[in-house]
């Protein structure tokens, strides 16, 4: 029960931070906030002594006017927790939970009073930890209004600790000419849908494909620029990186074994969580056999892609 209450408090705090960032008036301020969270996450994950972490985090809060405003907004929201929508057991547990945040040989003195000092958001970030800060980032960047600066936002996402085994070259490819996932309007009738998908602009097809990952709740995007890895889209799964290769092939142009073998190599080299090959045609028997040798490769042919439009896929 105690763990459930603590987790509920964490989710509430994540929502308070995300709300404060979303309500900033300028898109560039949201980008600044994402960078601030990313840098704060790095500090918390570091081997610095607790007091040094606190000093560095406090300096980051004070680095920009927009961040100061967000920090004050969070402080005010937490100080007014009694009138919030938190369930009663969480309201009762909140003061003791936050007062127990470890700091320099003791506890965070005074945090239970929820003053308006900027030190309060710093201590809350320490309480949330790297996973909690990642949740704040994800809660903000999945908001369509927060995405006009997608390149800068992705720049923060690729520092996620879940991608620590991804190569520098792949991270560079992830940031190269990113495109928002977009679900294009398609005909409802199956044969017309198939014809539409076969005739889509290749870049639109990639964005359309990545929109299914976006709709499933993952941060996802396509990339306009071709790269050495043959990857057309990326999504961030709780367990790591998802990479996607899109093949808008004619019906008779089946995807073969060499394509799958090369893609398997990319998955393994980048320690990706999973890789999807999505095509408007089908796969050869050899390609299916090759994919079957790895639990990380998922083949999506035209029939499955059509079903995605009626039955939302899970990843």
Angle between helices 2-22 and 65-79 (to 10 degrees): 140
- Residue 191, judged by CB atoms within 10 A of its CB (0-12, 13-18, 19+), counts as exposed
What are the tens digits of pLDDT across the range 245-281? 999 999 999 999 999 999 999 999 999 999 999 999 9
Residue 161 has a CB neighbour count (10 Å cut-off) of 12
Q: How many residues does the chain have?
A: 315
In the prediction, which pLDDT does 288 show?
97
What's 299's DSSP letter? E
Domains, the chain, ranges and CATH? 2-157 (no CATH), 163-308 (3.40.1350.10)
User: Could you read off the pLDDT of 169-200 as tens digits, one per residue?
Assistant: 999 899 888 888 889 999 999 999 999 999 99
Q: What is the mean pLDDT of the chain?
A: 85
| Band of pLDDT at residue 240, cut at 50, 70 and 90 | very high
Q: What are the tens digits of pLDDT across the range 91-120?
A: 888 777 776 665 544 444 444 444 444 467
For 199-279, where are the alpha helices, taking DSSP H only? 202-215, 257-269
Query: How far is residue 36's CA from residue 67's CA, in Å, rounded to a whole number?
Result: 8
| Apex 208 CA angle, 285 and 294, nearest 5 | 35
User: pTM for this structure?
Assistant: 0.62
Q: Which residues pair with 255 in a beta bridge?
A: 283
**pLDDT tens for residues 35-81?**
899 889 888 988 888 888 888 888 888 888 889 899 888 888 888 88
């Amino acid at each position: 029960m105690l763990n459930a209450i603590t987790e509920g408090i964490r989710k509430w705090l994540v929502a308070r931070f995300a709300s404060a960032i979303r309500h900033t008036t300028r898109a560039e301020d949201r980008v600044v906030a994402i960078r601030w969270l990313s840098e704060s996450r790095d500090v918390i994950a570091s081997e610095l002594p607790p007091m040094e972490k606190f000093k560095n985090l406090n300096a980051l809060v004070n680095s920009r006017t927009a961040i100061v405003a967000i920090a004050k907004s969070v402080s005010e929201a937490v100080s007014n927790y009694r009138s919030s929508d938190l369930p009663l057991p969480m309201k009762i547990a909140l003061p003791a939970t936050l007062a127990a945040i470890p700091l320099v040989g003791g506890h965070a003195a005074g945090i239970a009073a929820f003053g308006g000092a900027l030190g309060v958001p710093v201590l809350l970030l320490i309480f949330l930890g790297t996973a909690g800060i990642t949740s704040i980032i994800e809660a903000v960047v999945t908001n369509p209004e927060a995405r006009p600066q997608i390149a800068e936002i992705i720049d923060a996402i690729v520092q996620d600790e879940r991608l620590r085994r991804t190569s520098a070259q792949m991270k560079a490819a992830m940031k190269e000419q990113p495109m928002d996932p977009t679900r294009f309007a398609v005909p409802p009738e199956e044969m017309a849908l198939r014809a539409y998908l076969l005739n889509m602009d290749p870049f639109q097809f990639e964005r359309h494909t990545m929109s299914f990952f976006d709709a499933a709740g993952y941060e996802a995007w396509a990339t306009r620029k071709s790269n050495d890895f043959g990857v057309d889209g990326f999504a961030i799964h709780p367990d790591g990186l998802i990479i996607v290769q899109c093949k808008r092939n004619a019906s008779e142009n089946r995807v073969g074994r060499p394509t799958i073998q090369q893609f398997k190599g990319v998955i393994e080299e980048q320690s990706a969580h999973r890789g999807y090959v999505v095509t408007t045609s089908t796969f050869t028997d050899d390609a299916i056999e090759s994919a079957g040798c790895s639990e990380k490769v998922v083949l999506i042919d035209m029939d499955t892609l059509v079903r995605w439009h009626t039955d939302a896929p899970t990843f």
